[in-house]
Amino acid sequence: MPTVADVAAFLHRFAPPSLAADWDNVGLLLGEARGAADRVMTCLTVTPEVVAEAVDDGANLIVSHHPVLFRGAKKLASSTPDGRLLLPLLRAGVAVYSPHTAFDNCPGGINDGLSARLGLTGVKPLRPKDGPRECKLVVFVPEADLAKLSDAVFAAGAGVIGQYEQCSFRVPGTGTFFGTEATNPVVGQKGRREDASEYRLEVVVPDGKLEPVVAAMRAAHSYEEVAYDVIPLRPRKFGGEGRIGELPSPVPLGELARTAKSVLSANAVQVVGDLASPVKRVAVACGAAGEFLSDALAAKADVFVTGEVRFHDGLTASAAGLGLILPGHHATERPGVEDLAARLAGEFPTATVWASRRERDPFGAV
């Protein structure tokens, strides 16, 4: 039987918290990691209706897209809205995990699903993100020290590439040195040039861990003077936010809006722009993503599909000749919640997983 920790570990791999926005609150936000997770419910937002469903149907883990306790709460009592919402979950032992913007941005996440539903091709991040800053440590080490030194730098945090640990590159070679009278060489003699069999060891190191890694390397090395280089690396692209892609062929703006309404089961769709205007290059960002309007313009998109924007964002788009399609916050994100339930069910076949059946878009249309 899977535990909350098992599901959380999978979600960390699928939607790494490092992909989340800096302001976000993601991860296990309520409950015990060691608790059972054989009945898991996904939802867009933890609401009183969702809480009642979780308790009634015996869920022991809710995976909610939007975080609970997004802002700091000073107390959780029955007299407060947060308390009334969360106390039933605490009494029933229901944990809550939120992936939020990490799920928006990860490969196979909400924005990728939204792009696929719209039929986009050549999809890439609308706002690319640089990965963490790293450097390469190159050290020249005698074979007798190689294993001990490698273990030391790995333990200090070097050698991590993606999901792989203890990564290094090693090349045998010959080093030379001439020790002065003030030296006490470990190999060879001072006062003459020596040839020494050594290995060139290379490891990638996060910038924040460079000092402890170098200290561990020096402590494990037997030489009086250690020859090593630290080489800054250009940050790698590390995914990004939103998506930009193209339709196979141009379609009228109004036709794409009707497609979005259908594939997202939206109650209504707002549109900015001439419905007859042809569009091909499409920017996408789920939820309330008006902040990406400038990115859509910079990417030379014909239309920007998002859940909702402010009135003045609509005026800005209209003035710039950028179409907008707004199916609503719920409509752009709820399909991803349903996709996540299917993904979790496939990953944990012994668990019962479902997308909340009581959750509804709070906005209707007449």
pLDDT 10s digits, 213-266: 999 999 999 999 999 999 999 887 667 899 999 999 999 999 999 999 999 999
52 in any annotated domain: yes
Q: Which of 232, 254, 272 is the last residue of a domain?
A: 232
Please report, for residues 229, 290, 322, the alpha-carbon distance to residue 195 in angstroms, rounded to integers and kept in the order given: 20, 64, 68
- At 162, the pLDDT band (50, 70, 90 cuts) reads confident
315 in any annotated domain: yes
> What is the predicted pLDDT for the residue at 237?
67
Q: Say whether both 209 and 60 belong to one domain.
A: no
- At 185, the pLDDT band (50, 70, 90 cuts) reads confident
- 285: domain CATH number is 3.40.1390.30
Q: Say whether both 145 and 118 belong to one domain.
A: no
For the chain, the average pLDDT equals: 94
124 in any annotated domain: yes
More confident site: 77 or 256: 256
Q: Which of 200, 232, 264 is the last residue of a domain?
A: 232
What residue type is assigned to position 233 of the chain? L
Q: Say whether both 138 and 55 belong to one domain.
A: no
- At 178, the pLDDT band (50, 70, 90 cuts) reads very high
Q: Which candidate, 59, 60, 61, 68, places its Cα nearest to that of 26?
A: 68
> What is the predicted pLDDT for the residue at 80?
84
362 in any annotated domain: no
- At 77, the pLDDT band (50, 70, 90 cuts) reads confident
339 in any annotated domain: no
Strands 134-141 and 228-232: antiparallel
More confident site: 189 or 44: 44
**3-state SS track over 272-308:** ECCCCCEEEEEEEEEEECHHHHHHHHHCCCCEEEEEE
Looking at residues 173-187, what average pLDDT do you find? Answer: 88
165 in any annotated domain: yes
Q: Say whether both 162 and 223 belong to one domain.
A: yes
More confident site: 5 or 74: 5
More confident site: 234 or 343: 343
Q: Say whether both 139 and 226 belong to one domain.
A: yes
Q: Say whether both 74 and 119 belong to one domain.
A: no
Q: Say whether both 71 and 154 belong to one domain.
A: no
Q: Say whether both 262 and 226 belong to one domain.
A: no
Which residue spans within 86-217 are E strands per DSSP?
95-98, 121-130, 134-141, 169-178, 193-206
Lowest mean pLDDT among 64-73, 99-108, 165-174, 221-230: 64-73
Return the percentage of the chain with pLDDT > 90, whole number. Answer: 83
pLDDT at residue 26 tops 70 = yes
46 in any annotated domain: yes
217 in any annotated domain: yes
pLDDT at residue 315 tops 90 = yes
- 149: domain CATH number is 3.30.70.120
* Domain containing residue 156: 134-232
Q: Which of 204, 232, 260 is the last residue of a domain?
A: 232
Q: Say whether both 141 and 265 belong to one domain.
A: no
Q: Say whether both 227 and 244 belong to one domain.
A: no
> What is the predicted pLDDT for the residue at 186?
83
> What is the predicted pLDDT for the residue at 234?
87
Considering its fold, how many domains does the chain have in total?
A: 3
Q: Say whether both 251 and 310 belong to one domain.
A: yes
Q: Say whether both 85 and 153 belong to one domain.
A: no
Looking at residues 306-318, what average pLDDT do you find? Answer: 97
